[in-house]
Amino acid sequence: MRLRRAWLGRSLPWISFLLLSAMFFLTCHEPTRVQVEGYNQAQQDIVEGVESGSPVRQMSWVLLGCWAAWSLWSYPRNRRLHFEGVLGPVLLGFVAWAFLSCVWADDLALTSKRLVSFGLLCLVAVAVVRRFSLRQMVAGTVVCTLEYLVFNLAAELEHGTFHPLTAGYRFGGMQHPNSEGIELGPLVLSALAAAFVFPQHRRLCFGIMAAGLWFLLLTGSRTSLVATLLGVLVFAVAGSSPRRRAALLPGAGALVFATALLAAAGAIPVVEQALLLGREDVISQDLTSFTGRTIIWEDVSPFIQQSPILGHGYNGFWTPDHIADISKEEKWGVPNSHSTYVDYMLTLGIVGVSLYAFALVAALWRGVQMCRIQHDPSLALVCGVLVFSIVDGLTESGMAEGELGTLLCAVALVWLASVPLHRIRELQAAEQGQSRECAA
C-alpha cells in the first residue's frame, strides 16, 4: 500500500502535466492544418475562424476548465494563495477591467467568447500554481514544450513539408512560424533552467536546449529569437552569485545596447542579415519598420483614438469587418495588430494596457528581488519567462491570444504575486527535501 501511494505521489504530477499539455495543445494547434504554401492565412480563412470558431478548440477549453476546477477543489487547503504587495491587486485589476469591458464592447458576442477563454486560462494558471512546486513546473514546461515540438515536427514530416535547407523555409508545423517561435523560446529557457535544477540530467537538458534553439532559428521569428536570447541573459544574471552578476551585467548590457544601436543605424550589414534570418524577401522593406508592422499600427491608430481610455472590448476589435478593412488596406490577411501592447490598447484602452505593462514590470522586479535572496535557477527561469513575454509582446500578438506563452506568463505572474519574499528559503528547503525522498 505504501509503495502504491509513493508511486502515485511521484506519478500524479506527471500525469496531470501530460493531460494539461494535451488539452492545451488543441486550443492553439489545428492537427488537420499544416503549412504547405505560404505562412499567412487568407482573409477569408481568418474571417471564417472568427465567425465560426473551432469545435475542437472550444471543447479543449471546456476540458481545461474542468481540470482546473477539479484541481482547485481537490488540493489541500494549506496551499491557498495569498496575494501580498502591489502585484496582486494589479493583476486582479487587469482581470476585472477585461471582464468589465463587456459593458462598452463594440461586439458583445465576440468579446464574451474571448473572455470565456481568458477566464479559463486564468483559472488554469491559478490551479497550476496551487498544485505544483516550482521545480515541478520547470520539468513540466520542458516536457510540454518538447512534446509540442515533436508533434509539429511529426506533422511536417508526415506531409513532406520539412525542408530546413530550402531557401525561405520557415518551421511552423500546425501553426504560423511566429506562433511556433513563442513555444520554442520557453523550451530553450526551461531546458536551460532544468540543466541546473536537475544536474543529473544536465547533458540531456543542454541537448534539448540546443535542439530548441536550432528549431527556433528555423522558424525565422526574429522577435522570439531576440526575446529568448534576452531571457537567457537575464537567467544567467539573475541566477548567478552577486560577484558573478556584478561582472556579467555591465558587459552584457553594453554589448546588447551597442549591437542594437549599430544594427538600427545600419552600420553592421552582417547583423542586419542575421536579423532577417534568411528572409531576403523583406530586405526591400525598411528593417526599422519591423517588416510592415508599423504600417499596421498606423492603420489601427484611428480606431485607438476613437476610444483611447476604454478600448473596444477585450479582444473584440478584430471583427470580420475590421479584418476586411485592414486586410484590404495592407493587401494581405491581417488577423491582429502584431503587437500585444497595441492590441490591448485597441481592446482595453490606456487603462488596460497600463495595468498589463505595470504587472509585467512589477513582477520582474519582484522576481529579481527573490533571486537576490535565493540564487535558485527555478526563480531565474521565472524572470526569463517574464522578459521573454515583455519583449515578444512588442511585435507579436500571441501573448494576448491564449497561446502557451500566455499561460506560462500567467503562471509566472500568479506565482510571483502569491509567494512572500521571506518564504523563498522555506520553499527551496521543502522542494529539496521532496527531491531527496523521490530519489530514495
- Reading the chain (440 residues) residue by residue, the pLDDT tens digits are 444 444 444 555 677 778 888 888 888 777 666 654 555 665 566 655 555 667 878 888 888 888 888 888 876 554 567 777 789 999 999 999 999 999 999 889 889 988 999 999 999 999 998 888 888 899 999 999 999 999 999 988 888 888 888 887 888 888 888 888 999 999 999 999 999 899 899 999 999 999 999 999 899 888 888 889 889 888 888 766 666 566 556 655 665 555 455 444 433 444 444 444 544 444 334 433 455 677 888 888 888 999 899 999 998 888 888 777 787 777 777 778 888 999 999 999 999 999 999 999 999 998 888 887 777 888 889 999 999 999 988 888 878 887 888 999 999 999 999 876 655 555 556 555 555 555 55
Does residue 4 lie in a domain region? Answer: no
Does residue 17 lie in a domain region? Answer: yes
Q: What is the DSSP string of 286-314?
A: -GGGTTTHHHHHHHHHHHHHHSTTT-SST
**Cβ 259 vs Cβ 313: under 8 Å:** no
Does residue 1 lie in a domain region? Answer: no
Spatial distance between the Cα atoms of 415 and 438, rounded to a whole number of angstroms: 24
Amino acid at 124: V
Does residue 2 lie in a domain region? Answer: no
Does residue 266 lie in a domain region? Answer: yes
Contacts 24+ apart (CB under 8 A), 260-265: 264/288
- Output the CA torsion sign for 344, 349, 354, 355: negative
**Cβ 395 vs Cβ 290: under 8 Å:** yes
- Output the CA torsion sign for 96, 97, 99, 104: positive
Spatial distance between the Cα atoms of 31 and 33, rounded to a whole number of angstroms: 6
CB atoms within 10 A of CB 43: 20
Q: Which domain does 372 fall in, by range?
A: 13-439
Burial group, residue 248, by CB count within 10 angstroms (0-12, 13-18, 19+): middle
Number of domains observed in the structure of the chain:
1
Does residue 5 lie in a domain region? Answer: no
Does residue 148 lie in a domain region? Answer: yes
Cα–Cα distance list, 271 to 73, 132, 210, 217 (Å): 52, 41, 21, 15
Q: Where do runs of H (alpha helix) occur along 30-176?
A: 43-52, 55-74, 87-100, 108-131, 134-159
Does residue 407 lie in a domain region? Answer: yes
In the three-class reduction of DSSP (H, G, I as helix; E, B as strand; rest coil), residue 49 is classed as helix
